[in-house]
Structure formats: structure tokens, C-alpha cells
């Protein structure tokens, strides 16, 4: 039901767009305020530097997006993005162990991040009551005398009259500072140092054997702190992303990428690097630590204000959970926009946070060994059923307890 209310959303990236999709049938007017000019973002834009690196979409996230924007998957596929089964159509390597490629029933959509975002944006822009204000930077929150947030300050003047302001401005969100300016206590932040660097490049897919129809995804592990991921994406392109964890030195140029692939005996990435035509420059990005912002734990929090996406949870990107969490939060907004959103949203983040943090504690000077995970991953090649459960948990489709029940 459309209501005579106005929502401002700070940031028109994945979390902001999905929040807008969710709110558009609850609010008569939904205004997305975006710092970037969105006109030309084919290979990524300034406000989303991570978009130049592989963005795997979990099966649960794809389902959430499809629920919010019915028909989206078909549109992205029709425009050239490959789809398939997450287990059967990728070759996965977990701690170096190849997973059996059998059907899992988990859907995969393999697109670059700018391509997916553009399709979502087109759909959201067509929703009734949704407006975009681009090249507009939000600089603060505006509160009424009773403390309720009623608008935002921007570099082009104040915008008031909001019934709700949603922060979807990503990992660099200034909300904590803005709340402090309004007299709220410091917001607790949980951090976990992870020392990741991502190095990526696009290539043409023509003539390349990617190990499986959608590519080969080989994760880092303590004995081998480099991930080598090769994904077929839209329109005949392949994206290669090397993830370097726990401060492992990243390759700085083509020759160093080849040398690393040789050293790791990366049998898909190496021929790609040697023979495929590059379609972009090499880009790299550091991701020093994961963070979880605990707005849900504040004693006092203003009415009329919520936060979603990376502004709240920015976890180890190699788990590919960010867009999925944004989708799940958007679905929750539909139910809980007026009461209880922050507490319920924190519960959504608990499982992914537990998964990444237990994995990531396996690295670094104070590493906590995890013999269970080691044994589990070593058992995957010999058990298709276990591999299905493993990926269902990783895709946030089954709870982690399902794995414990299947493999003690
Ligand atoms: C290297 C890397 C790889 C990743 N890989 C994956 C993956 O494989 N799968 C996955 O699901 N997730 C991945 N993620 C996470 C994913 O990118 C995010 O979870 C997802 O983009 C949702 O983020 P967001 O919309 O909250 O913020 P962002 O995408 O960071 O967008 C924030 C938006 O807010 C705008 N903005 C910022 N400040 C202001 C302001 N003051 N005023 C107005 N606008 C503002 C920015 O311009 C931008 O458009 C990865 C992240 C990184 C860093």
C-alpha cells in the first residue's frame, strides 16, 4: 500500500537501490541521494571502487533480488550474463580441494558488479514515486526538536520533510559522526584485521577453458594465502580476481600476476594470463579490516533513521555476502520499517559474521587453528551430498547447523 510518506536514502548503490525497491510500496516518495554522477559507470565508478573486482552473488541474494524486483534475473540473463547451477557450473576449490560438480539446485548469475547494478537501477527508477538526485553529497542529518530525523544536509542545501532517512552510503559511511554531532554516544564498532588486497583484470573469454562453464573459484587458506578466481561474466568477458589475504604481497603488474599463477600452479588462471586478450587495466584495492557497526546496541537511537548495507556490515568480501545481506535487509525493511528493524537486521548479520570471523581467525600472528574446517574441506571431493550442504550454507540458504549435522 502506498502511503503519503517520504523516505530519503543516502547512496544509490546496491543497498540503497534494494532499500528503495522495498520502500516504494510503503512510501509515496522515495528519494535516492547519490554523490556520484551515474551517467557513465560501465567499468565501475568512483564511489564504488570495489566494483572493478569479481562480485559473486549468493543464491540467497539472487532470490532476494528476484523477490524485490520480479523478472530481474531474466533481464540480466537476456542482456548477456551467464546463469547456471552454483555447484555444477563452477569448479570450486576449498583449501585446495576440488568440489564435485553436481547439480545443487542453487542458482547462479554471473555478472560484473556495474552490469548488475545498472540493471537494478533501471528497474528501481521505473518504480512509482522513486526519484534520483545524483552528484549530491549528503553532509549531515537534520533532527526535529523531539530528536526525530527529518532530513539531511547536502552540498546543495538542506532537504527536509522526511519521514525516514536510510543510510546506504557504504563502508565509508559518516553516520557515526553525524549522530555524534546530534549528541548521541559513540557507536560500537567490531573490527577484525584481515589485510586483504584484491587485484583484478578483465579478459576476452574467446578460446579460454575456464575449468567449468562459469569459471573456477579457488579460495585462499592459511597454507596458501592467495585466492585465484576466474569468472565468466556478461558478453564474452572473463574477470580474474586475485585475493591476497593476511598481508600477502599482491602482484603489481602482469608479469607478477603470471609469476604468482605459475607458483600456485593455477591451471585456469595461468593460460588465461598468458593467452587471453586483456580488456582493461589491472586494478587493485586494499581491504584492511572487516567491520560491523552496532547501531543495534545503542541505548539511544533517533526515530526516523536506519542504516543498511556496508554502512552496517562490511565483511570479508571473498565470502561474497555483501549484496545478499543488502537484499535480505531490504526484504526486512518491508516488514519492519516502522519497528524493530535494527535488532532484526543485526540477527540477519549474525550468521555471516560468525562464518567469516571464524574463518579469518585462521590467519595472522594470533591465528586460531580450525581443525574442523580443515577436515571438512578435505572431505568435500569425495562427497557430493556434503558439497551441496557446504555450498548451501555458504550461500546462506541453510543454517551452519546443517553442516555440523552432516559432518561431525
Ligand atoms: C573488493 C570487494 C569485493 C567484493 N566482492 C563482493 C562479492 O563478491 N559479492 C558480494 O555480494 N559483495 C561483495 N562485496 C561487497 C559489496 O560491494 C557491497 O556489500 C555492496 O556493494 C553493497 O554495498 P552498499 O550499497 O552498502 O555500499 P557501496 O556499494 O559501497 O555504495 C555506497 C554508495 O553511497 C554513495 N555515497 C557514499 N557517501 C555518500 C554521501 N555522503 N552522499 C551521497 N552518496 C554517498 C557512494 O557513491 C556509493 O554509490 C565486495 C566488496 C569489496 C570491497
Q: What is the Cα–Cα distance from 20 to 168, expressed in whole angstroms? A: 10
Does 150 contact ligand 1 (Cβ within 6 A)? no
pLDDT in tens, 181-194: 999 999 999 999 99
Answer yes or no: are the C-beta atoms of 341 and 332 closer than 8 Å.
Answer: yes
Structural domains of the chain, ranges and CATH numbers in brackets: 6-51+116-188+294-360 (3.50.50.60), 56-111+372-408 (no CATH), 193-281 (3.30.70)
Q: How many residues does the chain have?
A: 408
pLDDT in tens, 331-359: 999 999 999 999 999 999 999 999 999 99
Task: Tell whether the model's pLDDT for residue 233 goes beyond 70.
Answer: yes
Distance 100 CA to ligand 1 centre (A): 32
Q: What is the Cα–Cα distance from 301 to 240, expressed in whole angstroms? A: 42
Which atom of ligand 1 is the closest one to the Cα of 11?
34
For 265-332, the DSSP string reads T-TTHHHHHHHSPB-S--EEEEEEEEEEE-GGG-S---TTEEE-GGGTEE--GGG--HHHHHHHHHHH
For 172-239, the DSSP string reads T--HHHHHHHTTPPPPPEEEEEEEEEEEEEEEE-TT---SSTTEEEE--BTTB-EEEEEEE-STTEEE
Q: What is the Cα–Cα distance from 335 to 154, expressed in whole angstroms? A: 29
Which of 20, 31, 51, 55 for mutating ligand 1's site (highest number of atoms within 8 Å of CB)? Answer: 55
Window from 76-85, 195-204, 363-372 with minimum mean pLDDT:
363-372
Nearest CA to 32 out of 120, 115, 146 is that of 120
Nearest CA to 320 out of 68, 101, 116, 23 is that of 116
Mean pLDDT on 298-321: 97
CA dist 18 → 1, 117, 121 (Å): 18, 10, 9
Whose Cα sits closest to atom 48 in ligand 1? Answer: 47
pLDDT in tens, 238-273: 999 999 999 999 999 999 999 999 999 999 999 999
Nearest CA to 146 out of 304, 342, 338, 337 is that of 304
Mean pLDDT on 321-336: 98
Mean pLDDT over each residue of the chain, to the nearest integer: 96
Which atom of ligand 1 is the closest one to the Cα of 139?
41
Helix (H) or strand (E) holding 130: strand 130-133
Does 326 contact ligand 1 (Cβ within 6 A)? yes
Does 287 contact ligand 1 (Cβ within 6 A)? yes
Distance 20 CA to ligand 1 centre (A): 15
- Where residue 364 falls (left for φ over 0; alpha for ψ -120 to 50; beta otherwise) is left
Distance 371 CA to ligand 1 centre (A): 33
Nearest CA to 106 out of 125, 122, 86 is that of 86
Does 215 contact ligand 1 (Cβ within 6 A)? no
Q: What is the Cα–Cα distance from 389 to 400, expressed in whole angstroms? A: 9
- Measured from the Cβ of residue 26, the count of other Cβ atoms closer than 10 Å reads 18
Amino acid at each position: 500500500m502506498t502511503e503519503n510518506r517520504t523516505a530519503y536514502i543516502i547512496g544509490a548503490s546496491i543497498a540503497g537501490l534494494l532499500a528503495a525497491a522495498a520502500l516504494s510500496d510503503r512510501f509515496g516518495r522515495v528519494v535516492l541521494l547519490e554523490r556520484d554522477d551515474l551517467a557513465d559507470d560501465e567499468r565501475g565508478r568512483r564511489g564504488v571502487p570495489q566494483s572493478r573486482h569479481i562480485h559473486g552473488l549468493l543464491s540467497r541474494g539472487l532470490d532476494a533480488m528476484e523477490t524485490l524486483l520480479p523478472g530481474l534475473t531474466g533481464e540480466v540473463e537476456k542482456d548477456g550474463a551467464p546463469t547456471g547451477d552454483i555447484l555444477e557450473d563452477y569448479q570450486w576449490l576449498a583449501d585446495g580441494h576440488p568440489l564435485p560438480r553436481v547439480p545443487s539446485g542453487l542458482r547462479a548469475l554471473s555478472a560484473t558488479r556495474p552490469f548488475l547494478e545498472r540493471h537494478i537501477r533501471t528497474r528501481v527508477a521505473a518504480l512509482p514515486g522513486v526519484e534520483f538526485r545524483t552528484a549530491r553529497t549528503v553532509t549531515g542529518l537534520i533532527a526535529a526538536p523531539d530528536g526525530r530525523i527529518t532530513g539531511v544536509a547536502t552540498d546543495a542545501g538542506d532537504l527536509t520533510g522526511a519521514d525516514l532517512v536510510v543510510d546506504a552510503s557504504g563502508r565509508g559511511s559518516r553516520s557515526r559522526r553525524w549522530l555524534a554531532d546530534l549528541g548521541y554516544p559513540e557507536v560500537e564498532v567490531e573490527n577484525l584485521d584481515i589485510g586483504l588486497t584484491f587485484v583484478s583484470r578483465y579478459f576476452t573469454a574467446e578460446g579460454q577453458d575456464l575449468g567449468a562453464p562459469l569459471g573456477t573459484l579457488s579460495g585462499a587458506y592459511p597454507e596458501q594465502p592467495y585466492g585465484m578466481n576466474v569468472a565468466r561474466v556478461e558478453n564474452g568477458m572473463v574477470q580474474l580476481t586475485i585475493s591476497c589475504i593476511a598481508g600477502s604481497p599482491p602482484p603489481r603488474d602482469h608479469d607478477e600476476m603470471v609469476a604468482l599463477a605459475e607458483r600456485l600452479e593455477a591451471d585456469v588462471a595461468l593460460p588465461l594470463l598468458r593467452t587471453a586478450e586483456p580488456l582493461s587495466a589491472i586494478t587493485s584495492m586494499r581491504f584492511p579490516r572487516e567491520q560491523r557497526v552496532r547501531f543495534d546496541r545503542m541505548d539511544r537511537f533517533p526515530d526516523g533513521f536506519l542504516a543498511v548495507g556496508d554502512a552496517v556490515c562490511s565483511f570479508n568480501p571473498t565470502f561474497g555476502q555483501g549484496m545478499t545481506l543488502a537484499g535480505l535487509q531490504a526484504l526486512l525493511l518491508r516488514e519492519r520499517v516502522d519497528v524493530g528493524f535494527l535488532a532484526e537486521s543485526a540477527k540477519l548479520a549474525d550468521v555471516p559474521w560468525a562464518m567469516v570471523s571464524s574463518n579469518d581467525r585462521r590467519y595472522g600472528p594470533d591465528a586460531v587453528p580450525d581443525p574442523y574446517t580443515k577436515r571438512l574441506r578435505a572431505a568435500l571431493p569425495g562427497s557430493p551430498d556434503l558439497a551441496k550442504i557446504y555450498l548451501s550454507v555458504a550461500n546462506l540458504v541453510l543454517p551452519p547447523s546443517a553442516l555440523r549435522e552432516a559432518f561431525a
